Amino acid sequence: MSQNEPNKVQQYGAAFVTGLVFAVGLALSGMTQPAKVIGFFDFSEGLTSWDPSLAFVMGGGMLVYMPVFRLFTKRTRPLFDTRFRLPTRRDIDLRLLGGAALFGIGWGLGGYCPGPALTSAGALSSKAFTVVGGMLIGMFLFQQVDKLRARRAEKKQASPNGQPEKAVS
């Protein structure tokens, strides 16, 4: 096996084990209990109803990820692929704000963000099945609408001078 060829089997194994560890972390952290998530945002009875656990989950995660990211991305490549595939955008647009706002409403309404919803679905929770079902529908719908929108923008760009331009995603 050449060092420059990405090894698919290693990548697949790593993805599966990463998912496993992630699920165990989520379940241990309490995030698979929607009441704990809602509790983080619940000040209806002041500090009595407040549950700061979520901040400890985020803090614990960042405590590990921040130094690993800083040190490891100085390397030229990850272990099982030829290069890093990381986000590069830094602009703040309406789409980011609107998307995050909608996600937050759904999160506050159901108490499940995507990771805990999937992990709880694996634990055969019927409520999580409903949330995951809705989530997949929402993801699919948005992707289809976004595809249509991108195609229309492409046509619009192409029509004035007859030169089709590549849509930027």
Partner 1 sequence: MENFTPLASALGGLLIGVASAMMLVLNGRIAGISGITGGVLKLQSGETVWRALFVAGLLVGGFAYHAFAPDAFAIEIDRSTGALLAAGVLVGIGTQMGNGCTSGHGICGLSRFSPRSLVAVLTFMATAAATVAAVSHFFGGTL
Site string for partner 1, 73-92 (x = CB under 8 A): x---xxxxx-xxxxx-xxxx
Question: How many other β-carbons are positioned within 10 Å of the β-carbon of residue 52?
Answer: 9
Nearer to partner 1, 56 or 158 (CB): 56
Nearer to partner 1, 1 or 64 (CB): 64
Which of 32, 56, 46 has its CA nearest to residue 117?
Answer: 32
Q: How far is the CB of 159 from partner 1 (least distance, A)?
A: 27
How far, in Å, CA of 50 to CA of 38, rounded? 9
Which of 142, 141, 140, 111 has its CA nearest to residue 128?
Answer: 111
Q: Could you say whether residue 41 binds partner 1 (CB under 8 A)?
A: yes
User: In degrees, to the nearest 5, what angle opens at C-alpha 65 toward C-alphas 75 and 105?
Assistant: 130
**Binding to partner 1 in span 91-130, by CB under 8 A:** 91-92, 95-115, 117-125, 127-128, 130
What backbone torsions phi and psi does residue 126 show, to the nearest 5 degrees? Answer: -70, -35
Nearer to partner 1, 2 or 126 (CB): 126
Nearer to partner 1, 66 or 158 (CB): 66
**Binding to partner 1 in span 149-168, by CB under 8 A:** none
Q: How many residues bind partner 1 (CB under 8 A)?
A: 116
